[in-house]
Structure 1
Amino acid sequence: MIETSSRLVAAKALSLLDLTDLTDNCDAAAIERLCQQAQTPFGHAAAICIWPRFVRQARGLLGQNSAIRIATVVNFPSGELPVEEVVAETKTAIDDGADEIDLVIPYRKLIAGDERAVREMVSAVRAACTPPVLLKVILETGELKDRDLIRSASHLAISTGADFIKTSTGKVKVNATLEAADIMLNAIRESGRNVGFKPAGGVRTVADAALYLNLAATIHGPDWAIPSTFRFGASGLLGDILATLEGRPAGSPNAAY
């Protein structure tokens, strides 16, 4: 029963996966591998998440009508670029073929008490993300730290047009945590809006994924987590998903990552 349950979680996690390569040494060959890895014998990842400079290449590799979406990052990872520069970055990425934009809020300004800076950034990028482009807003919860600040950031992002709220860049000391997930998932419920959630950074195993899926089910119901409402931002998770689905030990060397 446990094995069957693990395989069910693995299959679900695969369908919710934003397979990510935001490493500093990412190159064209790595993007080609990522596009191949996103398509498995058990189904495909929801999306790949890559640097903006590789979006055009990925679109060419996946094709115009691919079921695998292309997500890219803006104002990343610092959250400190000027609004007009981030908007220009967003528009270029969309022109290159991006389906989803993962935007880092100016979280340091928020920590200093400047909520207006967050609203201005999210609103401006929202305006550039015309449907069907999705806007996923990264709060960088590991740097916000305070529960009330994470909740406030969640509501700011939701009220200014986020389609998803996302925990982290994966580039700081503390990334996705269950505590932050609980705050953010409850903020979504409180808002009454159809907004998704994306834990990112540190979700490496099917067992990790199960914890987040169980939390989402507790707050939003057992059928809530689907690709339009839930994503895992991860690079290493695919390897454990495939090991589980193939019946291999977790972390075995044949895993994709």
Structure 2
Amino acid sequence: MSDMIEIAARALGLVDLTNLNDDCTAEDITKLCARTVTDHGSVAAVCVWPRFVAQAAKELTGTGVKVATVVNFPAGGEDTEAVIAETRQAIADGADEVDLVMPYKAFVSGRKGFAEEQIIRIRAVIPEGVLLKVILETGEIKDPLLIHAASNLAINAGADFIKTSTGKVAVNATLEAAEIMLTAIEEARRDDGERVIGFKPAGGIKTAEDAAAYLAVADRIMGHNWVSAHTFRFGASGLLDSLISTIEGQEIVDHSHHGY
């Protein structure tokens, strides 16, 4: 059990505590932000709808917890101008991190240039110091070779992180997708040791055991010293309670009524 406690403590600081529920309210954001600083340390970030960025940034002042938001979410649409406007507004409102859904349907249909151009254009409006995380939607891409190609495309287009999923489709984070994406990151590291590219599994990661499985893949592919909040995040809503319960040696109570 002590191993699980150690893993849970390690995972806690890697959580992007998320509320992307369609019915999310300002009150929900206040509750979310109140959970970020625990007796066992702080989470890395909250991840919220763009309309709540300013509120979250205000409520997290002085905590060191980052504010992440989502753009082109969840559909990965093709109106790049609209995504640019959405991104600019989120940054003006105080977003530290932007999670962009790449136009994965265009990518899968063979329009790789379009997908790449959208990422490049969003990257261009993101200032120094703000992270760009690109969501591939691996459960919809499906084909392992295409997931690898999408990882490479996002990395080459300027992603700081590549993220598995929106949490809004049938298949979200999987260990198979994690393996492919981390391999692409490892290959990129061999080509350019200076640049840091992170990995974020999201959707369906609920327990300390789930977290442990993803950390094990990262340790195996990237080495034991690689994982930190600069290189690895979990996108999750229910995971934090499970991690705290594990650290405190309590029975797990599932407080998350939402599937994210």
Q: Given the two structures, how large is their TM-score scaled by the length of structure 1?
A: 0.96
Residue matched to 2:154? 157
- For residues 166-210 of structure 1, the C-alpha deviation after alignment (integer angstroms, 9 at most, x for no partner) is 000000000000000000000001112420000000110000000
Q: Which of 33, 36, 56 is 1:35 aligned to?
A: 33
What is the match of residue 192 of structure 2?
none
The separation in 2 between residues aligned to 1:229 and 1:61, in whole angstroms, is 25
Match of 1:240? 242
1:115 aligned residue: 112
Contact 2:42 2:65 in 1 (8 A): yes
Q: Give the Cα separation in 2 of the matches to 1:29 and 1:43.
A: 23
How far apart, in 1, do the equivalents of 2:65 and 2:254 lie?
26
Which of 47, 51, 56 is the equivalent residue of 2:45? 47
Question: C-alpha separation between the residues in 2 aligned to 1:225 and 1:117?
Answer: 32
Matched residues, percent identical?
Answer: 53
Work out whether 1:142 is the aligned partner of 2:136.
no
Q: Is the 8 A contact 1:243 1:252 kept in 2?
A: no
* Partner amino acid, structure 2, of 1:17: V
- CA–CA separation in structure 2 for the residues paired with 1:91 and 1:198: 23
The match for 1:231 is 233
Using a 3 Å threshold, how does the CA distance of structure 1 residues 212 and 143 change in structure 2: closer, same or farther? same
- Indicate conservation of the 8 Å contact 1:86/1:125, yes or no: yes
Shift of 1:251: 2.5
Cα distance in 2 between the residues matched to 1:188 and 1:91: 27
Q: Is the 8 A contact 1:167 1:180 kept in 2?
A: yes
Pick one of 55, 58, 66 that aligns with 2:56. 58
Give, as a single letter, the amino acid of the residue that structure 1 aligns with 2:94: G
- Matched residue type, 2:43: A
Q: What amino acid does structure 2 have at the position aligned with 1:11?
A: A
Give the equivalent residue in structure 2 for 1:205. 207
Give, in whole Å, the separation in 2 of the partners of 1:252 and 1:167: 23
In the alignment, which of 176, 180, 190 is matched to residue 179 of structure 1? 176
Rounded to whole Å, the distance in 2 between the matches of 1:188 and 1:172 is 24
Aligned AA for 1:124? Answer: R
Q: Which amino acid aligns with 2:252?
A: A
- After TM superposition, list the pairs within 5 Å mapping 1:75-86 onto structure 2: 75-86=72-83
Extract structure 1 runs of 4+ deviating beyond 4 A. Answer: none
Further displaced range: 167-176 or 238-247 = 238-247
Unmatched segments (≥5 aa) in structure 2: 190-194
SS of the equivalent of 2:47 reads: strand
User: Match of 1:120, as an amino acid?
Assistant: E
Deviation at 1:253, TM superposition (A): 6.5
| Residues 125-164 of structure 1: per-residue CA shift (max 9 Å, x gap) | 1011111000000000000000010000000000010000
Question: In 2, distance between residues paired with 1:25 and 1:242?
Answer: 26
Aligned position for 1:15? 13
Partner of 2:185: 188
Aligned residues: 252
2:238 and 2:254 in contact (8 A); partners too? no
Say yes or no: does 1:105 pair with 2:107.
no
Deviation at 1:252, TM superposition (A): 6.2
Say whether 1:93 aligns with 2:90.
yes
Describe the SS at the equivalent of 2:241: helix
